[in-house]
Amino acid sequence: MYCFESLIRVRYGETDRMGYLYYGHYPEYFEVSRTDMIRSLGLSYKEIEDMGIIMPVRSLKVDYRLPARYDELLKVKSCLSKLPEIKLDIDYEIKNEEDKLICTGNTVLAFVDVKSRRPRRAPDFFLEAVRRYF
């Protein structure tokens, strides 16, 4: 298992008229956190794409427990619990400044060849970088 935590501050434009972080922005927070997690492994999502592999999201789940407010500095944690051979399955947890769990989530991403637009296995260098955690 491998986890990484990002800090993301809630922007004004991300709140809605309820005064809370809009529910539709959580997937982008997950994306920021998983990009940081990949970077923390010495990899770069951008370089993976530049090599001709895109990683479209296949599924998303979010459970909203407590609201997040404007200007709060949230801890967004991404955890890889399985070796990502065919799919990248990531669990998320968001905690607020008082360390209360405000949200859990999951995304599953595929590895897709950008030219053929067909699914493929994770590239070897990616598996190498994470294998030691499993």
126-131 contacts at long range (C-beta below 8 A, 24 or more positions apart): 126/43, 126/48, 126/84, 127/83, 127/84, 127/85, 129/41, 129/42, 129/43, 130/2, 130/41, 130/80, 130/83, 130/84, 131/83
Binder among 40, 41, 64, 81 for a second copy (CB under 8 A): 64
Residue among 1 and 18 whose Cβ is closer to a second copy: 18
Residue among 47 and 133 whose Cβ is closer to a second copy: 47
Applying CB under 8 A, does 123 fall inside the site for a second copy?
no
Applying CB under 8 A, does 57 fall inside the site for a second copy?
yes
Residue among 34 and 80 whose Cβ is closer to a second copy: 34
CA of 105: how far to CAs of 43, 51, 108, 116, in Å?
Answer: 23, 29, 11, 30
- Closest approach, Cβ 58 to a second copy, in A, equals 6
Of 9, 97, 23, whose CA–CA distance to 62 is shortest? 23
* Site track 17-56 with a second copy (rule: CB under 8 A), x = hit: xxxx-xxxxxxx--xx--x--------xxx--x----x-x
Residue 20 tokens read as: 């809370």
Applying CB under 8 A, does 86 fall inside the site for a second copy?
no
Q: Interface with a second copy by CB under 8 A: which residues?
A: 9, 11-13, 15-20, 22-28, 31-32, 35, 44-46, 49, 54, 56-64, 67, 70-71
